[in-house]
Amino acid sequence: MSSSGQEVEAFCRVEHPRLLAALTLYTGDVDLAAELAQEALARAHRDWAKVGRMGSPGGWAHRVAFNLANSHFRRQRYERAARERAASRLPAAPGTPADGGDPDVLRAVAALPHRQREAVALRFLLDLSVDDTAARMGCAAGTVRALTSQAVARLREDSCLADVKDPSRA
């Protein structure tokens, strides 16, 4: 290993725990802190020819790490605001909390396996035909009928939903 490689390795060994501790305190999330610390050290390694000559390579790494954290939080704020704007433009779908939908139904549907949940949402919430649902899900119509039937059977097993009528038989 070259002396430059040894320098950057020693730098990372010293700075990683310090970065991790500072970022964990700053972000409140140890997993995010670990990801940000690793990215900051990767950038230090990539730019070691420049960073290694600085008066405080550790200070540089900490500044990069905190800038990464700030960018992460900024992205989260923008994404949340965009989701809220999009949601405010859509009318409330029947059965959703915004229109007073039954929380027991929402909880029970949320507990279904992904494909059954998807079939239920497409068939009953969006009122798509079996064929249109199959096209959207990329499967056969028989698969949609089976998923829907399985989902309704599971929902009927839920004590809070035992008296709910099967919308496909209405």
What one-letter code names the amino acid at 96? T
Choosing from 67, 89, 111, the residue where a domain stops is 89
Q: Report pLDDT for 161.
A: 64
Whether residues 53 and 107 share a domain: the answer is no
How many residues can be counted in the chain?
170
pLDDT score of 44 more than 50:
yes
Tens digit of each residue's pLDDT (9 = 90 or more) over 7-29 = 999 999 999 999 999 999 998 99
H or E stretch including 53?
none
Out of 2-16, 70-84, 94-108, 142-156, which region has the weakest mean confidence (pLDDT)? Answer: 94-108
Same-domain status, 10 and 83: yes
d(CA 45, CA 16): 12
Q: Check whether residue 75 and residue 7 sit in a common domain.
A: yes
> What pLDDT does residue 69 have?
95
Could you tell me the CATH number of the domain that includes residue 145? 1.10.10.10
Residue 66 has pLDDT above 90, yes or no: yes
Q: How many structural domains is the chain composed of?
A: 2
Is 104 found in the same domain as 160? yes
Q: Give the domain-ending residue among 42, 58, 89.
A: 89
Q: Are residues 16 and 35 in the same domain?
A: yes
Query: Which of 89, 107, 131 corresponds to the end of one domain?
Result: 89
What is the CB neighbour count within 10 angstroms for residue 132? Answer: 15
The mean pLDDT value for 102-120 works out to: 81
Contact between 44 and 60 (Cβ < 8 Å): yes
Range of the domain at 101: 97-169
Same structural domain for residues 69 and 106? Answer: no
Instruction: Compare 108 and 32 and report the one with higher pLDDT.
Output: 32
Question: Which of 165, 166, 158 has its CA nearest to residue 106?
Answer: 158
Distance of CA 110 to the CA centre of its chain: 16
